[in-house]
Amino acid sequence: MVVTTQKESKKISMAASNHIDNRSKKKSFLDIVSLIRSIQRAEGNMDCFQMGVIDCDQVDCKWRAFCLEVCPVFGKDKI
């Protein structure tokens, strides 16, 4: 039998609450990279947006300039 003090119980409860809040906040934002990859698939291109493909041969892809950082939109930490 595990016995927890009221203080420990409160810490566990707060940690769980923070974890749930963080997940809820993440779900409230649009995942742009996933959206663009989905569009790439629908257009018949490889779904490789910002995966680090340097020698991209998808010249007809509408996202190519953004992907190859000619027009950077997203920070590397956002991927």
Q: Are 61 and 67 in contact (CB under 8 A)?
A: yes
Q: What is the pLDDT of residue 76?
A: 54
- C-alpha 35/C-alpha 49 separation (Å) is 10
Which residues have a Cβ under 8 Å from the Cβ of 44 and sit 6 or more positions away?
A: none
Which residues have a Cβ under 8 Å from the Cβ of 72 and sit 6 or more positions away?
A: 66
N-terminal to C-terminal alpha carbon distance within the chain: 44
Instruction: State pTM to two decimals.
Output: 0.52
Average pLDDT over the chain, rounded to an integer: 75
- Is position 10 within any domain? yes
- Is position 1 within any domain? no
Q: What is the pLDDT of residue 16?
A: 62
Q: What average pLDDT does the segment 14-39 reach?
A: 75
Q: What does the DSSP 8-state code read for residue 61?
A: -
pLDDT digits (tens, 9 = 90+) for 28-60: 788 899 999 999 999 888 899 988 888 888 888
- Is position 14 within any domain? yes
Tell me how many domains the chain contains: 1
Residue ranges making up the domain that contains 18: 6-78
Number of Cβ atoms within 10 Å of the Cβ of 75: 7
